[in-house]
Amino acid sequence: MAAAKGYSRMRERIDSIPGQLREVLAKPPPPLPPDLADKGLVATGVGSSEAAARYVVFLLQQAGVRAVFWPQSVFYGSLPTLTGPSPYLAVFSQGLSPNAQMVLARRQLFAGTLLVTAATVEGQRRAGKESRAILLEQLTNEGATLAVHPMENEYEILPRFVGPVCSMWMAGLLVEGLFSGVRLGSHLLNKFFCEDHHLSESEMDAWGTDLRSGANFFFTNSTSQYAQNLSCKILETLFRPSPGLYDALTYAHGPFQLDYANKGANWIFCTEDPNEQQLVETLTPLFKRGGSCRVITSPVALPHAIFYYEAFLNSLLVHTLKTLDVDLVDWPGKGLDGEGYEIWKPGDTLHTSPIRTVGI
């Protein structure tokens, strides 16, 4: 079978990721507002950007900062009531999508704005997207914090590989000064991006078969809270339903029964932490009783194990799609999602008063 249409572009972008992350490291991120720890933060993102938004929330919570994730649909209508002072708003959107613009239309209700994006004024003007360029200028003039990462134009194929991981990398760099532990840096890249992740050709074939037939992802750590992009890239490259993202202990509370009747494929994501390894050893017989079970062990500890999982899955997709006849350039539903994608402003019957706040 022929390789997927757009395969060479996909592989080129995946191969560029280590260099793109080094580029992010070379430019120190903008400082967070000094009163963010006092006021807290509401973060949002949709699609692949949801993972980075949830990641920054997780990291801030670990640092003792009040932070929550809100789905983007929340911003179409009346906003939830929060307790405490008005928080900051963090929006993650690689291309400053219409849905992100809808969120930003509510920014005056917050203490300030943080935008993590690949969009630039110059790039949006070159692309003929004047309204986005104007919005970026307005945000700059208002004193918003803009954290810009690669890559601005990643839309030739449906799946995006560079922008989502760079967005998460930027999220980590933005907040790592608030907590102690291993810092993101070039010293970790070799651990994240092993070329074959120690799998033989036949092993990669078997893992790829799981992806095509449908596998669910289980985690022995907190990564399930911000692993949405692992699921998104399966949907957008293989055109298969997104794998479920579960805490490993969830398996005994329903999924096992489904697998026992249908023999499902399950992957366990863990780190080298001894307690996680003990949990994997305890649960593996149960998972094998329900179907097949494969284990992905990150050599990097939390909270950065997600980058190893990202790179591992990318390498599997490179292997799997080289003989898979799918179209990543002119995909079946291209251009038919406008009713949802093009929503760029909130609903028409909003309450205009600020968010009533009594802490997140």
Q: Is 176 found in the same domain as 190? A: no
Q: Is 207 found in the same domain as 158? A: no
pLDDT in tens, 143-162: 999 999 999 999 899 999 99
Q: Is 177 found in the same domain as 280? A: no
Residues in the chain where the model's pLDDT stays below 50: 352-354, 356-359
| pLDDT the model gives residue 356 | 47
Q: Is 224 found in the same domain as 193? A: yes
| pLDDT the model gives residue 358 | 41
User: In this structure, what CATH number is given to the domain that contains residue 138?
Assistant: 3.40.50.10490
Q: Is 39 found in the same domain as 169? A: yes
Q: Is 216 found in the same domain as 125? A: no
Q: Is 180 found in the same domain as 158? A: yes
| pLDDT the model gives residue 350 | 58
| pLDDT the model gives residue 353 | 46
Q: How many domains does the chain have?
A: 2
Tell me if 23 is assigned to some domain.
no
Q: Is 156 found in the same domain as 206? A: no
> Do you find a cis peptide bond into 151, omega within 30 degrees of 0?
yes
Tell me if 24 is assigned to some domain.
no
pLDDT in tens, 6-32: 999 999 999 999 999 999 999 989 999
Q: Is 202 found in the same domain as 285? A: yes
| pLDDT the model gives residue 189 | 85
| pLDDT the model gives residue 354 | 47
| pLDDT the model gives residue 195 | 56
| pLDDT the model gives residue 2 | 60
| pLDDT the model gives residue 179 | 67
CB-CB contact of 51 with 164 (8 Å): yes
- Residue 228 belongs to domain spanning: 186-321
Q: Is 217 found in the same domain as 83? A: no
